[in-house]
Structure 1
Amino acid sequence: MRAIIGVLDSFGIGSLPDADRFGDTGANTFARIWEGCSNAPRGMMQIPNLMALGLGRAAHLVDPALPAFDGMTAQGLFGAAQELSKGKDTPSGHWEMMGLPVEEDWGYFPKTVPTFPAELTEAVIREGKLPGILGDCHASGTEIIEQLGEEHIKTGKPICYTSADSVYQIAAHETHFGLERLYELCHIVRKLVDPYHIGRVIARPFVGEKRGQFQRTGNRHDYATPPYRPTVLDVAKTAGREVVGIGKIPDIFAHSGVTQEIVAHGNEAVFDATIAQAKSAPDGSLVFANFVDFDMLYGHRRNLIGYAEALEAFDKRVPDLAAALKPGDLVVFTADHGCDPTWTGSDHTREHIPILAFGPGIAPGPIGIRTTFADIGQSVAHHLGLNPMPVGTSFL
């Protein structure tokens, strides 16, 4: 009996009741992709396995304007969840689904230029032994690297920027600046931003020599503030279970509660690692994987067709995972927030997340709209026979 969680990073299914606070009323990552493909020359998105698990029916629960998809007999439990946490960021979504809603607001940097407080920038330059910084604004990562990459190489000044998330991002060239130097700088900045209650510092390494050639690499690292109370991961680890974090999961939880960390860059590599764990992880294990490409490559870049094609590629791998399951296993596909590729700007969108749960012996059917992502963690704890979490209700 094991539990496998796959987070389709940013795959929301409709705006939350409080989306107006974020300017996101009407955002719907799934619906806009589904409609956009249907109206494009390429034709309807082909994700038969996810739809058979109840994805369309879960989306209809949130947005009745969508087709009911009731002609399909669901092969798993399906529903949606609302977020209690106050943000629309990666740590909030992941922590809450593992039983730890973020009860206080994160700190954010204002949409001004410069965006960072002068005393913080002075400390970053001083402690990091830097000639200065570039950027100091809200920006899309790919765009600001394109704009400032050549100046960065020439001056040695790292590119520092933020977004609507609680984040301090540092882009630097892997060889001209140095990958290990970038990581060391992020460790320094992690401590410096703690007084501002910033959720993450992110290293954004890139390569290339001139404008038009710059590309971010897979050597990204997130330096998150640690969870302030135990999550399901910690509970499982304390109980002597194997807790496998795949992709950026260990970074999101500041490596808390994880017994095995598997580095995997890109959705295909993450899926390969997840299937390998489904074949080999011992009884009682919790396997947790983040499929980052949906968010990083397509949602933030507002690439609807690319997002659809990534979903289709993911969908084709679902039968491979199902074939690797053992009696008593549980799989949950979900998300951590939205990132509607038709929305203005490049930030996340405040949305419901899907819950698609299946496995040998898991009876299919609707589970409705849950009032917190933490119902996922509570269900996992129940399935694995762990002590219950203080927040959430099992849907099993």
Structure 2
Amino acid sequence: MPRALLIVLDSVGIGGAQDAAAYGDAGADTVGHIAEACATGRGDRAGLRQGPLHLPHMAALGLGLACEASTGRIPPNLEPKGPLKGAWGYGIETSKGKDTPSGHWEIAGVPVAFDWGYFPNTVPSFPKELTDALIERGKLPGILGDKHASGTEIIDEFGAEHMRTGKPICYTSVDSVLQIAAHEETFGLERLYDLCRIGRELCDRYKIGRVIARPFVGSPEEGFRRTGNRKDFATPPPSDTILDTLAKAGRPVVTVGKIGDIFAHRGTGREIKPNGNDACLSAAIDAMRGLGDGGFVFANLVDFDSEYGHRRDIPGYAAALEAFDRRVPEIEAVLEPGDLVIIAADHGNDPSWQGTDHTRENIPILCFGPEVEPAAIGKRSSFADIGASVLAHLDVGHAGKGRSWL
């Protein structure tokens, strides 16, 4: 019985969506601008990487051709150098957000048709009723931040005061999110998680998609750094996703990285949550080795987004793409006859763009496996086509959105 692996390269967009101007993102192009920067030396960093963007395996799977289909041009050095090895195309998001839950839910067959709630870019950002309740129920001396901010910058700004006072750092962004940062040692990791659970309950009335725990360590003297113990507390999808469908069909499901958090742990099977792209990819590959017939592995590689996109780090992003590309042969090596792999993304996060937020972009769809013939699958009118294709491949009935290309 066939099996499937879906890998989401978090934020690896391939050109501004048709409605990008409405989001302030007309002209954004994550992969294209990284490739152009690398071609002109702006992607170089001593000791990390240099030269043109080198993604030979993904180029052979059709990445450059997917970019061309989306934007009308192949980014520098992404032309396939030999025979193509997979099917390629690009996806258009129909959900109203450019956030992680919207992208992943739509991939899984549930486009977000409603408007998320957002906190305004004011100081303070949060309604007084929300902060008062969070302080009272969390038994806090108060909160710090209360504004739109970069996660690393706000920790640098308030980390010392947080350690001195015990007040957690609360902030948001253009996404539908409340983020709470606290020191793992002086505040406590489990206490931070408990506070986020309170925040999750309080945020429901505001239609906020996620409450995110952002633990960090360090000191004012040596500096602060975020740890891998991030945890997302998401509102559940409004209807069944492909994960629910597979669970009801009794199929083996393994979810890797933050997939479990994104789907509020519903239908997410055996959850594995390593720290970092390499560890998550290794876990996904290992899961495929032991996956039963008709099974599904769903993985998210978040570092592209959290470590490089939001931080506007072009060389770091380029190096992460090249590191993933080098491991594509490892994915191919564990595939059995009938297996299917899809590589996609959930939104963009152009590291050459202004600000620190996601960008509204089309996404690549690269599809390969022992029996997948090279072909153009064209423009897909919804990310939901990915989930529909997974279910079609696994021969499981599909009642959600999307149209399979298989």
SS at match of 2:219: coil
Tell me what 1:381 maps to. 391
Among 124, 138, 147, the alignment partner of 1:137 is: 147
Q: Find the counterpart in structure 2 of residue 210 from structure 1.
A: 220
How far apart, in 1, do the equivalents of 2:154 and 2:254 lie? 34
CA contact (8 A) 1:2 1:328 kept: yes
Does the C-alpha gap of structure 1 residues 96 and 46 become closer, same or farther in structure 2, counting only changes over 3 Å?
same
Matched, 1:288 2:298: yes
How big is the shift at 1:305? 0.5
CA distance in 1, matches of 2:60, 2:66: 11
Q: Which moved more, 1:178-187 or 1:71-80?
A: 71-80
- Pick which of 145-154 and 272-281 moved more: 272-281
Q: CA deviation at 1:73?
A: 3.3
CA offsets per residue over residues 149-171 of structure 1, 9 Å max, x none? 00000000000000111000000
Equivalent in the alignment of 1:24? 25
- Rate the CA distance shift 1:46–1:95 in 2: closer, same or farther, 3 A: same
TM-score normalised by the chain length of structure 1: 0.98
The Cα offsets for residues 222-277 of structure 1, whole Å up to 9 and x where unpaired, read as 00000110000000000001111101000000001111001211011011101101
Q: Give the match's secondary structure for 2:34.
A: helix
- Confirm or deny: 8 A CA contact 2:254 2:268 kept in the other structure: yes
TM superposition shift of 1:338: 0.1
Shift in CA distance, 315/300, structure 1 to aligned 2, threshold 3 Å: same
1-side partners of 2:340 and 2:110: how far apart?
21
Moved >6 Å (runs of 4+): none
Cα separation, 1, equivalents of 2:84 and 2:379: 16
1: CA distance, partners of 2:405 / 2:30: 24
Once the two structures are superposed, residues 146-205 of structure 1 have per-residue CA deviations (whole angstroms, 9 ceiling, x without a partner) of 110000000000000001110000000001000000000000010000000000000000
Question: Counterpart in 2 of 1:171?
Answer: 181
| Aligned partner of residue 332 in structure 1, secondary structure | strand
User: 1:201 and 1:183 mapped to 2: Cα distance?
Assistant: 10
1:28 touches 1:340 (CA, 8 Å); kept in 2? Answer: yes
Distance 2:302 2:139 in 1: 32
User: For residues 154 and 70 of structure 1, do their structure 2 counterparts lie closer, same or farther at Cα, with a shift above 3 Å needed?
Assistant: closer
Q: For the Cα contact (< 8 Å) 2:17–2:360, is it kept in 1?
A: yes
1:232 aligns with 242
Q: Count residues in correspondence.
A: 396
Q: TM-score, normalised by structure 2?
A: 0.96
SS at structure 1 position matched to 2:327: helix
- Which of 354, 367, 373 aligns to 1:344? It is 354
Conserved in 2, the CA contact under 8 Å of 1:134 and 1:148? yes
Shift of 1:362: 1.0
Q: CA deviation at 1:388?
A: 1.2
Name the counterpart of 1:254: 264
Partner of 2:338, secondary structure, is coil
Letter in 2 for 1:169: Q
1:161 and 1:169 in contact (8 A); partners too = yes
Provide Cα deviations, 1:287-344, integer angstroms capped at 9, x if missing partner: 0000000000000000000000001100011101100001110000000000000000
Instruction: Describe the superposition over 1:70-97 as per-residue Cα deviations: whole angstroms up to 9, x where unpaired.
Output: 6653210100000010000000000000
Hey, what does 1:313 align to over in structure 2? 323
What SS does the corresponding residue of 2:59 show, helix, strand or coil?
Answer: helix
Counterpart check, 1:54 vs 2:62: yes
The amino acid of 2:115's aligned partner reads D
Distance 2:325 2:370 in 1: 19
Which residue in 2 is equivalent to 1:331?
Answer: 341
Give the corresponding residue for 2:47: none
Please state how far the C-alpha of 1:389 moved relative to its aligned partner: 3.0
Cα distance between partner residues in 2 of 1:140 and 1:321: 34
Contact 2:284/2:299 (CA < 8 Å) preserved in 1?
Answer: yes
The amino acid of 1:225's aligned partner reads T
Aligned CA RMSD, in angstroms, stands at 1.1
Percent of paired sites with the same residue: 58
Other-structure match for 1:193:
203
Tell me which amino acid in the other structure corresponds to 1:267.
Answer: N
Contact 1:146 1:212 in 2 (8 A): no
How many angstroms apart in 2 are the aligned matches of 1:166 and 1:382? 32
Counterparts of 1:344 and 1:211 in 2: how far apart (Å)?
30
Which AA in structure 1 matches 2:134?
A: V
Unaligned runs of 5+ in 1: none
Q: How far did residue 286 of structure 1 move? A: 0.8
Q: Does 1:107 align with 2:117?
A: yes
Partner of 1:117 in structure 2?
Answer: 127
1:302 counterpart = 2:309: no
- Relative to 1, partners in 2 of residues 1:315 and 1:71: Cα closer, same or farther, differing over 3 Å? closer
Deviations 1:343-364 (A, max 9, x none): 0000000000000000011111
Paired amino acid for 1:384 = L
Bigger Cα displacement from structure 2, 368-377 vs 58-67: 58-67
Contact in 1 for aligned 2:392/2:404 (Cα 8 Å): yes
